[in-house]
Structure 1
Amino acid sequence: MKAMLCKEFGPIERLVLEDVPSPVAGKGQIVISVQAAGVNFPDALLVQGKYQLRPPLPFAPGNEFAGLVKEVGEGVAHLRPGDAVIGLAAHGGYAQEALVDSAAVFPLPAGTDPVVAAASLTVYGTALHALKDRAQIKAGETLLVLGAAGGVGLAAVEIGKLLGARVIAAASSDQKLDVCRSRGADSVINYAREDLKERVRALTDGRGADVVCDPVGGDYTEPALRSVAWNGRFLVVGFAAGEIPRIALNLPLLKGYAVVGVFCSEFSRREPARYRENIDQLLDWVATGKLTPLIGGRYPLARAVDALRALLRREVTGKVVLLP
């Protein structure tokens, strides 16, 4: 089978497509014939050696992948060859076949498009964990989303609306904001040409946002921190802009708000039952049409570098998938 391999940590351009032996399912494992793999920002960090994990070399990046069960290992009774599933792993998805622990595999509702499935779990799982578990957002509260046209950002816009929030979407172009409106955003801010803090103040009658979801970091974190309402929650989700901001701790002190970290993969490891509840909820929303991930790009496996490059340059609206 073919896999896109990282053979040395460094620029994403060093990824190479090679023929490798098919994986074999061990005890408690399954092999998935991959039909679609999600492309996520942590994949690029992993390849560059900048992520929390450093897998043994060589490895294929890719932490979410949908397809059909090819083989089940000893002790796996709830899955059979031919079942449509989505799997999650630290890496391995950028390949025609992927090995995964059976506990991290979720059956897909009948008729679910594997491309849609592969675009769902990481970004929507992160957004749901952020808003439901970490922020405990309530219906009627105001949610400000930075980088709102990206994968996690757009997922936060949609899930925020499903949870009853009033959503303000902030992004860097009018075109991206049009997409946010089409996905339910109540108000929008173009922070490339508008003052983020002043626009949030105007849109909230001076009160600020109850919850801020920040998957971007960089220059817009500080004005967003200054836009949190009394008793609000600022969600630290990621740093797609590349810069990890320094926080002036007097800001949460003066407004009595909380700065809350969101690390969904660690949540899934430490609290697997609660994580599975979230995934079951997401797959139900997808199956019933309440959530329809926006696919911003489809690439063959051989063009995985192009897919990652588009993601890193923030040229993508929605989610990118590979089609092995």
Structure 2
Amino acid sequence: MKAAFIRRYGGPEVIEYGEIDDPKISENEVLVRVKAASLNSLDGVVRVGGYKQFVKKFPHILGVDFAGVVEKVGNKVNNVTEGQRVIGFPVLYDGTCEYCKGGMINLCTSFGVIGRDINGSYAELISVPQENVIPFEWDYEEASTFQLSLITAWHALTKRVNLRRGMNVFVWGGSGGVGVFAIQIAKLLGANVISATSEEWKAKKLKEIGADLVINYKEQDVLREVMQYTNGKGVDVVFDSLGPDTLNSSIKMTKKGGDIIVLGVGIKESDTTPINLRALYIKYIRLHGTVIGTKDDLVEAISKVKEGKIKAVIDSVFSLKDAVEAHKKLEENKKVGKIVLKID
């Protein structure tokens, strides 16, 4: 089969496109013919070597999200059939640990991710456990975006914090894959949404998605604009997917008793940063770390997609053979929403 894969770590140029052996399936696995795969920052972290401890061998196929058609099923698979359209569920889990039994498979002691711990979706075929496919009814390219980014944002804003109508939410990284869903979800829950970006064309798109106020951080003081918008109180919730560069600003703009959600911080090897602990505890701020959601989160979020309340935001579409160019665009940060690989 054709695939985009790496044999070493580095920049976008390390991605190769060519023939690789077809994957095999066990009795509990599903073979999917991939039609589209969307890019995530996690793909970039894997590519540069940020998850060396999880990548088992080279060549390694990148890619978390996918939409396609079931090609073959193992003899113990009972949730999908050959010829059925499916999307992937990114989390690999054992179903037996205390967290899985408690419904928190995103905390599984054997936690893994497609495209990190096993070969991913930048390929004509992918083999995954039957638990990692869900039937769907949409366009392949759109469907490929409703996975890692969507459930991450959904879990963060519906499970980690008590977001209510009329609250003020600030979304860092609003133009990113997770950010565009976070804006839509916050609006769906009745919040006022503020975000920041560097260019006017991005600001226009973020407002179209649902942002009430978009601040140009190159020309305006973000903190001052936020405090002015909230009459000096600060926001109830900060959705911070940037972390090292923004966490202290997040603490400053959060109101007393507010919440900060910290999640994936992009294509960087280090997630460490000094923070102002005094400001954190004096303001009684709750700091939430989160990585991803559960399968229930995906089912809940998809129901909103079906109702037309959450929509795919696709920035651009590349052919699988152009995965290098797609990753260059991912790193350049000149996009709003998801980048998709079309696999013919």
TM-score tier (shorter): over 0.9
Q: Look up the match of 1:10.
A: 10
SS of the residue corresponding to residue 3 of structure 2 reads strand
Shift, 1:258, TM fit? 1.1
SS of the residue corresponding to residue 237 of structure 2 reads strand
Q: Look up the match of 2:108.
A: none
Q: Is 2:78 the partner of 1:77? A: yes
Say if 1:217 and 1:241, in contact at 8 Å, map to a contact too.
Answer: no
CA–CA separation in structure 2 for the residues paired with 1:319 and 1:173: 17
Q: Look up the match of 2:260.
A: 234
CA–CA separation in structure 2 for the residues paired with 1:43 and 1:307: 11
Q: Look up the match of 1:272.
A: none
SS of the residue corresponding to residue 43 of structure 2 reads helix
Q: Look up the match of 1:298.
A: 317
Letter in 2 for 1:55: K
Q: Look up the match of 2:64.
A: 63
Shift, 1:241, TM fit? 7.0
CA–CA separation in structure 1 for the residues paired with 2:26 and 2:262: 37
Letter in 2 for 1:312: E
Q: Look up the match of 1:259.
A: 287
Q: 1:97 aligns with which of 125, 133, 139?
A: 125
Say if 1:151 and 1:319, in contact at 8 Å, map to a contact too.
Answer: yes
Letter in 2 for 1:9: Y
CA–CA separation in structure 1 for the residues paired with 2:323 and 2:212: 35
Say if 1:36 and 1:66, in contact at 8 Å, map to a contact too.
Answer: yes
Q: Look up the match of 1:46.
A: 46
Write out per-residue CA displacement over residues 62-102 of structure 1, whole angstroms, 9 at most, x where no aligned residue.
01100000010121012101101001352110001111111
Please say which of residues 129-138 and 70-79 is displaced more in the overlay: 129-138
Q: 2:298 aligns with which of 279, 291, 297?
A: 279
Say if 1:240 and 1:312, in contact at 8 Å, map to a contact too.
Answer: no
SS of the residue corresponding to residue 75 of structure 1 reads coil
State TM-score, norm by structure 1: 0.93
Indicate the percent of aligned positions where both proteins have the same amino acid: 31
Q: Look up the match of 1:186.
A: 212
CA–CA separation in structure 2 for the residues paired with 1:210 and 1:204: 10
Say if 1:46 and 1:53, in contact at 8 Å, map to a contact too.
Answer: no
Q: Look up the match of 2:222.
A: 196
Q: Look up the match of 2:105.
A: none
Letter in 1 for 2:209: R
Q: Is 2:278 the partner of 1:250? A: yes
Please say which of residues 199-208 and 19-28 is displaced more in the overlay: 19-28
CA–CA separation in structure 1 for the residues paired with 2:43 and 2:10: 12
Write out per-residue CA displacement over residues 230-273 of structure 1, whole angstroms, 9 at most, x where no aligned residue.
11111111223746432221121111011111111xx5xxxxxx
Say if 2:45 and 2:267, in contact at 8 Å, map to a contact too.
Answer: no
Unaligned runs of 5+ in 2: 91-112
Letter in 1 for 2:237: V
CA–CA separation in structure 2 for the residues paired with 1:32 and 1:237: 30
Q: 2:238 aligns with which of 194, 202, 212?
A: 212
Aligned pair count reads 313
SS of the residue corresponding to residue 284 of structure 1 reads helix
Write out per-residue CA displacement over residues 151-207 of structure 1, whole angstroms, 9 at most, x where no aligned residue.
111111001111121111211222111111101111221112111111110000011
Q: Look up the match of 1:270.
A: none
CA–CA separation in structure 1 for the residues paired with 2:141 and 2:309: 17
CA–CA separation in structure 1 for the residues paired with 2:8 and 2:198: 34
- RCO greater where, 1 or 2, for CA within 8 Å and sep 6 or more? 2
